Amino acid sequence: MEPILKQVNVKLLTGNIFKLLDNDWMLITAGTKDSFNTMTASWGSFGILWNKPVAIGFIRPQRHTFEFVNTSDFFTLSFFNEKYRDVLNFCGHHSGRSVDKVLKTGISIASTNNGSVYFAEAKLVFECKKIYSDDLKEENFIQADLMQKIYPKKDFHRFFIGEITSCLSVEIPPKEIGLKFDETKGDNV
């Protein structure tokens, strides 16, 4: 049976985001139910920017998913239990250009009120509305050795900063106390 996902306030999440990204991995998905693509990702970031809760995804230009995230207003990040490791491995080693990842893995698509696609089997989902994107640039690397190691082909990631517009979780936080994001700090933080 699919887990029941409930809308939660991100400030009440209890998981460790470093573990979620580095060990559990996620599926980045964009497009509509009729035309979308998804891929596994483990590089990313979550935080507060412009007084908003944000998530940042890093996608190399050759990924099929790149085209979908690049041209969509929204993207989603779906996290799963260990049971779905094979699904994440599959979606991280095959391209949507040549296989239907949903058909091959058997995961079920669902969509938010904004029409963003995510997966019903996920334990945690973030819907993000794109605010800003840019490519990482060779000349801006301060650690040149890292740049040479990660980008021998110069296929620099494009990063997409998205405002988290919705967070769905199977874990119900202890108490929904409706924490607000602090806009009283002003715009020059």
Ligand X SMILES: Cc1cc2nc3c(=O)[nH]c(=O)nc-3n(C[C@H](O)[C@H](O)[C@H](O)COP(=O)(O)O)c2cc1C
Would you tell me which residues interact with ligand X (CB under 6 A)?
A: 25, 37, 39-43, 58-60, 63-65, 92-97
Q: Distance between CA atoms of 126 and 29, rounded to whole angstroms? A: 10
CB 108, min distance to ligand X, A = 18
Q: Which of residues 93 and 180 has its CB atom nearest to ligand X in the complex?
A: 93
Q: Distance between CA atoms of 38 and 31, rounded to whole angstroms? A: 9
How many angstroms separate the first and last alpha carbons of the chain?
45
Q: Which residue is nearest to ligand X (CB)?
A: 92
CB 98, min distance to ligand X, A = 8
Strand 158-169 to 44-49 pairing: unpaired
Q: Which of residues 129 and 158 has its CB atom nearest to ligand X in the complex?
A: 158
CB 97, min distance to ligand X, A = 6
- 8 A C-beta contact, residue 137 and residue 91: no
CB 38, min distance to ligand X, A = 7
Q: Which of residues 52 and 94 has its CB atom nearest to ligand X in the complex?
A: 94
CA-closest candidate to residue 27, choices 71, 76, 68:
76
CB 24, min distance to ligand X, A = 10
* 178 φψ region: left (φ > 0), alpha (ψ -120 to 50), beta (else): left
Q: Which of residues 8 and 125 has its CB atom nearest to ligand X in the complex?
A: 125
User: Please, where are the H alpha helices in 72-177?
Assistant: 85-91, 101-105, 144-150
Q: Which of residues 8 and 118 has its CB atom nearest to ligand X in the complex?
A: 118
